[in-house]
Structure 1
Amino acid sequence: MKTPSYGELTLNGLWKNNPAIVQLLGLCPLLAVTGSVVNALGLAAATTLVLICSNTAVSIIRNVVSDAVRLPVFVMIIASAVTCTELLMQAFAYELYLILGIFLPLITTNCVILGRADAFASKHAIGPAFYDGLSMGLGFGVVLIVLGALRELLGTGALFADMNLLFGPAAANWKWVLVADYQPFLLAILPPGAFIFTGLLIAGKNLVDRQIKRRQDALRAAPVKGAKRVRVTGTIS
């Protein structure tokens, strides 16, 4: 199997094959946790770390594990990476760990991680597998953070509240209040708001893709600059 270039892996993870708004995988934590930027950042970091570790480990053992036990082994690897990530978060961001709650251990069953392990890491060398995990994690994390920012901003009129939960006491004053005396817009914070904003993000990406395709089609159809028309004359005997 041909290994994609690192540029292709980056473009796939961040845009063309984004796990959240293209593959529509991992929607349960995406919709449940993105009520604020700090929650989204915490889950994005945890998911990216698990993706990198699981992809790398699966790539290392890809030629050793038989097809009969491939998927159970992949799940064990992912569960081990999730456990290590949970322990790190308990040690360095315990309050955020409590807020994220069940959605941290549920990373084990996240279709994004198992899907990349089976579809990519099990078929490619360590370097591309590591980078695929990184790019897919970043793509998923960007959507999480954008969704969390939109919901927090429209829901509370502020951004970056409680960032000290992830970055420590130095981040206690990072909260940015955009509108004083803002009337909270509860729909943005509640689960229906997550569905609405996710749909808008998907629609926005589809619109951008459509515009890019239209421009590419127009460039292909345009005549080459400086080309001369050749008039062919003659007789048929």
Structure 2
Amino acid sequence: MKPAIALPLLGLAPLLGASDLLVKALGIALVALPLLSLFGLLLPVLRRALSGHALWFGALLLAGVLVGLAQLLMQAFAFELHRALGPFLALLALPCLLLVAIEPAGPGAGLRQGLLFAACALLLGALRELLGHASLLAHGEWLGLGALHWQAAADGLPLFASAPGGLILLGLLLALVRLKP
């Protein structure tokens, strides 16, 4: 069963709120990459043990456990960033569940999805911070990058720092990707 075109876009939902700063986008990318990779490695085991609705419930439980562990690790090692990301870390269960909807694509599917998610997060985070705040790596101290902060002399456009601006930029980026030469 191939997922509908709108289903893969649900996996990008955490990016709308968590990519207004490049540091937040980097943080969610650093959590999503190992999370999706590990989920992708455990999914074939889950598929062998469960089927039908039980597979979905098992996958939801597995995604919840992995996201919970990721949140605990982030609280322990990057508390300020964890607070800044808020509930968007929990939304990382959506890209995990997207892997269940896709036909079995091998053990590398989680890694591929994680790399794609991380690339989208970093690109969207950099664009939103540049356009919305006219800066780069603001609050870099959350990840130990405080000395790399750059601020433009002019102000940015606040629309791009908000969630609707993130949705607009994400739509433009997806349209550019789908544009045929």
Give me the TM-score of the superposition, normalised by structure 1: 0.68
In the alignment, which of 109, 113, 119 is matched to residue 96 of structure 2? Answer: 113
Q: Which amino acid aligns with 1:143?
A: C
CA RMSD of aligned residues (A): 2.1
Say if 1:21 and 1:201, in contact at 8 Å, map to a contact too.
no
Cα 1:156–1:61 shift into 2, 3 Å: closer
Q: Which residue of 2 aligns with 1:134?
A: 111
Stretches of structure 2 lacking an aligned partner (at least 5 in a row): none
2-side partners of 1:190 and 1:68: how far apart? 37
Matches within 5 A, 1:139-218: 139-166=116-143, 168=144, 171-177=145-151, 179-180=152-153, 182-207=154-179, 210-211=180-181
1-side partners of 2:170 and 2:101: how far apart? 26
The question of 1:72 aligning with 2:57 is answered: yes
Say if 1:55 and 1:116, in contact at 8 Å, map to a contact too.
yes
Give me the TM-score of the superposition, normalised by structure 2: 0.87
Cα 1:67–1:28 shift into 2, 3 Å: closer
- The alpha carbon displacement at 1:49 in A equals 2.1
Stretches of structure 1 lacking an aligned partner (at least 5 in a row): 1-19, 212-237
| Structure number with higher helix proportion | 2
Secondary structure class of the residue paired with 1:44: helix
2-side partners of 1:36 and 1:116: how far apart? 27
CA offsets per residue over residues 79-121 of structure 1, 9 Å max, x none? 111111111111111110011111112323x1x211213424x
Q: Which amino acid aligns with 1:113?
A: C
Count of aligned residue pairs for this structure pair: 177
Cα 1:66–1:143 shift into 2, 3 Å: closer
Say if 2:8 and 2:98, in contact at 8 Å, map to a contact too.
no
Question: Which has the bigger relative contact order, CA under 8 A and spacing at least 6?
Answer: 2
